[in-house]
Amino acid sequence: MSEKLIEIDGAMMEGGGQILRNALAFSALLKKPIRIFNIRAGRSTPGLRPQHLSGVTVVRDITNGRLIGAEVGSTEITFYPGDITGGKYTADPGTAGSVMLLFQVSFPCVVFADKPTEFCFRGGTNAEMAPQIDETLMVFKPIVERFGVKFSCDIKKRGYYPKGGGEAIFKIEPCHSTLQPIEILEPGNVVGIEGRSFVAGVLPIKVAHGMADAACRCLRGTFPGISIKVERVKEPAHLAVGNGSGIVLLAKTEMGCLIGGSALGKRGVAAEEVGEKAAKQLVNAVMSGACVDTFTQDQLVIFMALAKGKSRVRIGPPSLHTKTAIFVAELMTDAKFNLIGDGTQEPTILECEGIGYKR
């Protein structure tokens, strides 16, 4: 392990939990000890929340590492990673904190584990300020698997704010070589759109229909003649905890690009408004000329940095999350990123010469 302690200001750039998650993953993989201070300084409630603490401790367990300052409300941690070990791990913040944010911090760590890994994550499956679990499986999973990683997910129970109570089992197969670089540069025309509109708890199925119908109307105006199929679901009572609603959309292009759009229902917000929000998000991403949506682009950065060779992806205007992910990747590794284009009117090529990480 490197003797030098890398110091990271958590208030930099996006100033949220992303710096914490990405830095921890790189620290675990590269065996570089880190000290992160001003954690989530840009948030209304700074410091570690229960879901962040759960993510930090599961990385500690994966690496048999040493962690200082890991408690709710802490704005500073120091982490000394050990050896990454595959196996079975559980994380449960005891809140509706997103299971997908637990996945984001832990998944990269075990891609190069010594054996298969199984995670049991509990909390919110469809939560605000995080990817919905359906979005990850429909959009992110097939894209990230182009690098050569493999994982599966079994949703045992759905959980919604404020109760949480969801549970998902993730199984990750280790990569025995290096990750392959990816090149996704030609968006092509949209050839089909699919989606999932859901309700749970006391909410009636008509809410799912309202979201789906509004999304379809909006999408047909932009993509006339394209097949649009949105599943409408009332979650079984024994497979969902709490009341929730939302919609996830996926556009497929002739060049194999996958572009998502999503929205969650809220008290006092009409179902039609939720459906339109998701549809407009999807339309904006497609019309930008990008090959991936804005919520996927930043999640690819860590894998581009680890891959062997040059990866190139056409994105829309780079988000602050994407710039933050690049900042952490270049701070923690020797990967070199370039954003080709002005990032305003024209699409941008996100380019990275990866480090070719190997276990």
- What mean pLDDT comes out for the span 178-198? 97
Give yes or no for residue 264 having a pLDDT over 90: yes
- What mean pLDDT comes out for the span 275-291? 96
Beta strands 190-200; 244-253: pairing state: antiparallel
298 labeled binding residue: yes
295 labeled binding residue: yes
Quick: pLDDT tens for 208-256.
Answer: 999 999 999 999 999 999 999 999 999 999 999 999 999 999 999 999 9
Joined together, the tokens standing for residue 345 give 């009117």
Burial class (CB in 10 A: 0-12, 13-18, 19+), 181: buried
Quick: pLDDT tens for 163-187.
Answer: 899 999 999 999 989 999 999 999 9
| Cα separation, 99 vs 300, whole angstroms | 18
If one looks up domain 6-183+292-355 in CATH, what number appears?
3.65.10.20
238 flagged as catalytic: no
Start and end residues for every CATH 3.65.10.20 domain found in the chain: 6-183+292-355
52, 176, 209, 321: which one is catalytic? 321
Closest CA to 155 of 173, 174, 135, 129: 135
297 labeled binding residue: yes
**pLDDT at residue 55 in the model:** 95
pTM for the full model? 0.94
- In total, the chain counts a number of residues equal to 359
Joined together, the tokens standing for residue 9 give 């200001």
Strand partners, 152: 171
Please give the share of the chain, as a percent, with pLDDT higher than 70: 97
How many other CB atoms sit within 10 Å of the CB of residue 183? Answer: 15
Quick: pLDDT tens for 323-332.
Answer: 999 999 999 9
Start and end residues for every CATH 3.30.360.20 domain found in the chain: 190-286
Burial class (CB in 10 A: 0-12, 13-18, 19+), 3: exposed
Give yes or no for residue 161 having a pLDDT over 80: yes
What angle separates helix 17-30 from helix 50-63, to the nearest 10 degrees?
0
Give yes or no for residue 344 having a pLDDT over 70: no
Cis omega (within 30 of 0) on the bond before 108? no
Strand partners, 68: 78
Give yes or no for residue 13 having a pLDDT over 80: yes
**pLDDT at residue 42 in the model:** 77
79 labeled binding residue: no
Range 190-286 has CATH code 3.40.190.10: no
